[in-house]
Amino acid sequence: MLIASEPDTHAADATLMVVPWHDPVVDSLGYDVHSAYVELFWLNVLGPTATWTLRRLVSGLDTYPLGYELDLSETAGMLGLAYSAGTSNSFGRALQRCALFGMSQPVPGGLAVRRRVPPVAARHLARMPERLRALHPQWQVRTYRADDLERGLAIAEAMVAAGDDPDLVERQLMAVGVSPAAAIEAAMMAIDRSRGVA
């Protein structure tokens, strides 16, 4: 159950239904919640607790794509956070912060969560350290050379086939010199192919 503006984390049953938030624009242009982009830029905005909470919510959608029932107390404990029904707590604040910054939204009977997030807004970028502001333009470039994508895809497919954690593929591609845009695309393609997604 939800109240009008935020998740109801005070319910006696202490569970919450989590469903995917379908947003065609952000889904096509945004960044995966587990991406290096989120660590570099959204972490600065959301903070570490809300970022890890968001990632945990999305990990549940990886297993149950249509939605799942989240045990609030258990999930808070897994993240090392406090939770108790009816009181202010760190897990409840993390959920509220996700909603405040548009990573989730209340829906009838649950919470819709973004699997892909938009680029950070200019107002948030302006408050970041100079180094992050200087890095951001290269993440906005959506073009890449075909050979960069081919190289990235070959490496990504080998990593996924070898059983490497899909969340690390994008980061490893960039570590070996694949451009951010090509690394994002190659990682997504390799993971989708491994799951049989057309």
The average pLDDT across 171-182 equals 80
Mean pLDDT of the chain: 85
pTM for the structure as a whole: 0.72
User: What pLDDT is stored for residue 65 in this prediction?
Assistant: 92
Question: Alpha helices, DSSP H only, in 10-129?
Answer: 24-29, 36-37, 43-46, 48-63, 72-78, 90-100, 122-125
Burial of 5 (0-12, 13-18, 19+ CB in 10 A): exposed
The average pLDDT across 48-76 equals 94
Residue (of 111, 92, 112) closest to 49 by Cα position: 92
